[in-house]
Structure formats: structure tokens, C-alpha cells
Structure 1
């Protein structure tokens, strides 16, 4: 575990595996700590010969919290945090694996920092410049009423996001979420990520055709947040991208066997 700087902020990071091995950077989704990228995913990637780095976004986990009204930020700044993590570990280029919002940050890196990207694996995500209000792609179908903030509410949310087809591993999910809540410096700060859409900067609208890294788009066919059409739009926009549809997978990765399946889809030998 290491804290690394990103401007005035400190980001919690963790590296697993041989530091001389090819690097995989795992980028979690909106409001999510690095630990939501499952331990089993990390372990399988290490077994495949990679070093794996995961980290907490600003305003999540043990990373710095931000006064968003005074210092607003968007996807661009969060992508800059990812670059800061690579810099701190002396990693010139990495296999980038991003889930949901993390997949949008991965796209940003592919467009704007191509020299830092060996390959892209885009999990359960949507084109980074997509405006949900445009009606061009299907809206979320997630049905979840929420509840008081805490582990139980988050377990219910993860159950809903699981998609209802593959087995929901509630014990593993609960254990992971208990770890996340216990280590969160300011649990309320993660809500700032819901405001990112307010900052749709021009660099998010750059065509994804500029991505040159080998790209795999991985999507569950029962994802209640982003329907499969979002993945198909990504594949159509990124030259040479390959679509891998995971039957029965929703928007989270804790069903038995899913972390290992995702790890095996990361194209470590492509670059």
C-alpha cells in the first residue's frame, strides 16, 4: 500500500505482483473504491504474469476528499489521477482495465495519453462523450429504491446490479463492502462523482477513432446500467475493437468465476 500524489491530493494505491512484470492498471467505477475490483481478478492477473495496480479515486476510500463546490472536477481530472498513479510507480505504459466510469477514463487515456496505454479492456461501460439525455443509447433499467447509507443498502444495490441471472455471491459482496465502509475516510464524499456530468469538457468529445491501442470491450448481456447497445457503440467507434459478451453478467463482478473470466480476457500478449 502506498499513497501517491496527484497535484495537492493523495491517492491510496496498491501494487500486487512482480514490479518488473508488465503492469495492469485497474480503474474502478463511479463512487467506487479500488477494492471493488475484486481480489480474485487481481490474483488471476498476477498468475498470468502481470503486476497489478489498483487505487482509490479522489473522494473515495482512503484517498483525499475534495470540496467539490470550490474545486469541481470531471472525468478529465480523474483520468489525470490515473496518469499520476502510473507516474508514481514509474510505469511508462500499462494494460488499462476500466469498469463503468473507469472504462470512460480508460478511453480518455487511449485518446489523450496513447503512449501510456499498451491495451484497453473496457468493462461494462459506455462511450466517454455520450450524453445520457440524447436518447441515442438505451437508458439505465436499474430498479433500486436505495435506503440509509451503509453496508446493507450497498449490498442491495450490488444485488440489483448483478442482473439476476448469475449467482449473486452475497457473502463475498458483503465482506468487500464492509472493508470499503471501514476504510472510507469520508463516506459522503463519493457522492461528488454523481456531479461529474456537469463538466462535459471538449476533450471528452474527441472521436474514439483516435484510439490505437488493442481494445477488448467486455459486457454482460443483462447489465441493468448500460445495455449491450453501449458496448456495440464502443466497438463500432474504436478501430479493431473486439466485443466479448459475458452471458448472464450484470454490472458487477462478484459472481463465482466472473473475476477469473474477466482476467483471462485482458489481452496481456497483444502489446
Structure 2
């Protein structure tokens, strides 16, 4: 073990040195993990390579900083510092997931030292903005229930799920602070918002032999991106690892270790070949085509749960297919709706406070267990096997394991944005009229939930305030006809009884 001073904290590094005659591997782990994630691969590489691993800031045994936060530049600087402090000259960098993106940046900063890149499950592309739901969900779970967070991560990233993998993920999360985890999530969100095929440009300028590994059970879009990008990187190779999902190092370390070892041996024995001008021109055209097509890609990273409660009878679809069941029994509809309206996750105590405030905690917890079991049965009876994992629970929390859309939640967001908008009164009037026309509370109130009744009252209060503000602004601009249209559409949101009558009388008298 080696301690390397860096700013106001100490980087933890581990060096497994065998011989100057052997290649040196420099391993960069995934966010929210640590260098122990590499142990399954290192088991197969003993006495075959020199191996260097280290922990990021706030991860594993690297100490925390009192003043710094996790940023991309800081993580790159840490890796470069480890390389220079240990006097490494010729290295093969291996990065996992986000660590693969860091590997590209580190290679760019140490061009003369890097011989090759091996990138495992590297997230080349996500449609812009699609990380936001994950950010919201993970940010809630890290506060609510770390065990549930570990369950979510393992279902997303491994195949098959086993107790040993779950223990590893859970122990990893237990060793990272809440703030560091949130910083990591925020970093991923920032990159998702700003990325513009930046890493492909970096790779092309490096001209390094590159190995891409992706698990056969990874999301379809991710596999397609790996195939597309492998065609765009000169000298690259792609291997789809059987029996593995995103966390290849956990799922199939033997095959991953073998493929990386073979790739590095071949890289050491035969230098990469330069591409002909014709080949480079073809790649340029192909790259342009892929970049244009990526702009049109829809989000395929998550399964989609859609809840409709405002436009008629309560209904639920899973990946476009109707989910049938006894929704009105054992409060299945209310439980699903309250989870959806609160970001897809909540503690049991919160659910009890929202839906059963009149019961003692013991009695409410017993009722909630029955409600959860019934809702779980509805999902498990669905013909699509993937629906069996929609509802995830622990002793403390409940979570919807899906990308969620809900017409009520969408309506609330639109109303809030309109309330806070600084657009012209004329534009706001048109949006308000559309909202008012589509607002139907009849199907909401049938649930007879005190929580939902309060929620609906708050929503109608927001709409009332929007209408009153609009009317004042429109009268000031002498938009009498538009005032009448706003009043007609929003008469159910009167700030007080007789408000519409009073305003119309004022207009007629004027």
C-alpha cells in the first residue's frame, strides 16, 4: 500500500510489482466504488502483469478533503499524480464505466506513457437530460435507505443477481459518505447535460489501441453504442462478454481478464498500424452519420411505468402494455400514486403519514405490508417478466424501479412552471387556458384520500393565483377579450366566490 499526498488529503494506492519485463496495468475504478472492485480480475493476473490501483477522493481508503469536492478535473489530476509519483513510464490503462471516460482523459494528459486503453462498459452516449430521473431517485435513496439503493444498483448492473454481489455493492455504499455520493451523481448529470461526443474526439486524437468490453445483458442502446463507436475508433476491438450485464468485473471476471490479457499481449508484440487516407475518409463519413442519428435516439435505458389518473378511470401501463389488476382493492391505486408523486421512493414512515395518519404505527405498518403485497402481486401477474421487479422494498422504504410518468405529476409541473414564469401575459394566458380545459378533478377525488385531497386543494390554489395575476396584467394591457377567455376557462378556480362576476361587471362598466 502507498500513501500519496494530494492537496489536503492522501491518496491510497496499491502496487503489485512483479518484474520490469512485464507490462504495467493502471486500473481506474467506477464512481462510488473503490480499488477493491478489481480483485476478481487481479486474481487471474497474478505474476503476469505489474498492477497499480488507487482510490478516488472520498472513496475507499483515500481520505476526505475538508474543502474540495468531486469534480472531473480533480479525478483526472489524482490519476496523473499517482502515475508521476510512482514513476510509471509505460502503462496500459483500464477503466470501468465512468472510469473508462476518466481513462481517456488521463491518457490525453500522459500521452507519452500510455500504450493502450481497455474500456469496460463505458457510457458513450445517453440522450441529454435522461440522467435527471436517476439523479433524483438516487439522491432520495441515499438519504432514505442505502440497502434499497444497493438493491436498485445491483438489479441495474449485474446478471445474475447473487447474495455475494449484493453484499459487495452494499459494503461499497456503506464506505462512501452521502455528500461524496451526491457529488458523484451531480458529476454524471453535468456530463450528461454537456457532453457533445467529446470523448470520441479525444480518443481519435490519441491513436491508441483500444479494447471495448460490454456485457451481453447490458441495455440494447448501450450495446449498439459500443458497436458504433468501435467502428469509429481506429485500431479498436470490441468484445461482448457473455453472461454479464454492466458490471462485467463482478459477473464474468474470468472472460474479461482473459480478453484484456490477450489484447495487451498482442499490443505489446505488434505496434498499431496507421490507417490509409481512404480509410480515414470513410470513418469520417461514418462518424458524421452516427452522430446525426444519435440526435434522434429516444431514451431506451429504462423500463417505463405510466400512470393515468386525470383522464378517466385509473390506468397503468408498463412499456406500453396495460397492467390489469384489482387496483381499487387494498389501496393499490393510492399507494402507487403517492410513490409516483414523490419521485418513486419513500420511507414506510412517510407513506403511513400520508395515507394512514389516523392509525397507530403498529397497525399502520401491518396494513401497509398488506397493501404492498397486493400491489406487488398486480405487477408480478403481468405477462412481461420485467414487471416483477417494478416494486422494490426493504424494512424501511419502498421504491418504484422504473422510469415513471404520471399525468397528475406532469400537470403539477406545468402549473408550477407557469406560476413562476416571466413570460408576457398574453402567452401565459394561452397556456393557462389549456391547463384549465384539461383539468379534471373528478377522477382524482374518487380516491377519497386525505393526502390527495390536500394535494388537489394546493394545486387549485396555485391555479387560482395564476388566474388572478393574469387577470390583473391583462386588464392593465387592455386585453379585455383575453380576460373573458381566461375567466371562462378558469371559473372553477375563483379566488373567492363571485370573483368572475365581479371582474366581468368591472369590464362591462368600464
Normalised by the length of structure 1, the TM-score is 0.78
Shift of 1:98: 0.4
Structure 1 stretches lacking a partner, 5+ long = none
User: Which of residues 162, 172, 181 in structure 2 aligns to 1:180?
Assistant: 172
- CA 1:181–1:207 in 2, change beyond 3 Å: closer, same or farther? closer
**DSSP 3-state at the match of 2:258:** helix
Alignment of 1:1-271 (within 5 A): 1-18=1-18, 20=20, 21-37=22-38, 39-47=39-47, 49-66=48-65, 71-72=68-69, 74-127=71-124, 132-133=127-128, 147=141, 148-151=144-147, 153-162=149-158, 166-171=159-164, 173-177=165-169, 179-180=171-172, 184=175, 186=177, 188-196=179-187, 197-198=189-190, 204=198, 206-224=201-219, 227-253=222-248, 255=250, 258-266=252-260, 267-269=263-265, 270-271=267-268
Q: How many residues align?
A: 254
Q: C-alpha distance in 1, partners of 2:111/2:9?
A: 24
Larger deviation, residues 189-198 vs 225-234: 225-234
**DSSP 3-state at the match of 1:268:** helix
- CA 1:186–1:207 in 2, change beyond 3 Å: closer, same or farther? closer
- CA 1:245–1:149 in 2, change beyond 3 Å: closer, same or farther? same
Q: C-alpha distance in 2, partners of 1:83/1:255?
A: 27
Shift of 1:4: 1.5
Q: C-alpha distance in 1, partners of 2:113/2:119?
A: 16
Preserved contact between residue 167 and residue 255 of structure 1 (Cα < 8 Å): no
Greater RCO (Cα-Cα under 8 Å, separation 6 or more): 1
Larger deviation, residues 206-215 vs 185-194: 185-194
- CA 1:94–1:23 in 2, change beyond 3 Å: closer, same or farther? same
Shift of 1:153: 3.5
Shift of 1:125: 0.7
> Which residue does the alignment assign to 2:385?
none
Normalised by the length of structure 2, the TM-score is 0.44
Preserved contact between residue 241 and residue 248 of structure 2 (Cα < 8 Å): no
Preserved contact between residue 25 and residue 54 of structure 1 (Cα < 8 Å): yes
Structure 2 stretches lacking a partner, 5+ long = 269-510
**DSSP 3-state at the match of 2:84:** helix
Shift of 1:58: 1.0
Q: C-alpha distance in 1, partners of 2:160/2:132?
A: 21
Structural RMSD (CA): 3.3
Normalized per residue, which structure has more helix? 2
Shift of 1:71: 4.0
**DSSP 3-state at the match of 2:128:** helix
Q: C-alpha distance in 1, partners of 2:54/2:95?
A: 12
Preserved contact between residue 214 and residue 248 of structure 2 (Cα < 8 Å): no
- CA 1:60–1:240 in 2, change beyond 3 Å: closer, same or farther? same
Q: C-alpha distance in 1, partners of 2:178/2:60?
A: 8
Shift of 1:112: 3.5
Preserved contact between residue 58 and residue 65 of structure 1 (Cα < 8 Å): yes
Shift of 1:121: 0.4
Q: C-alpha distance in 2, partners of 1:155/1:17?
A: 36
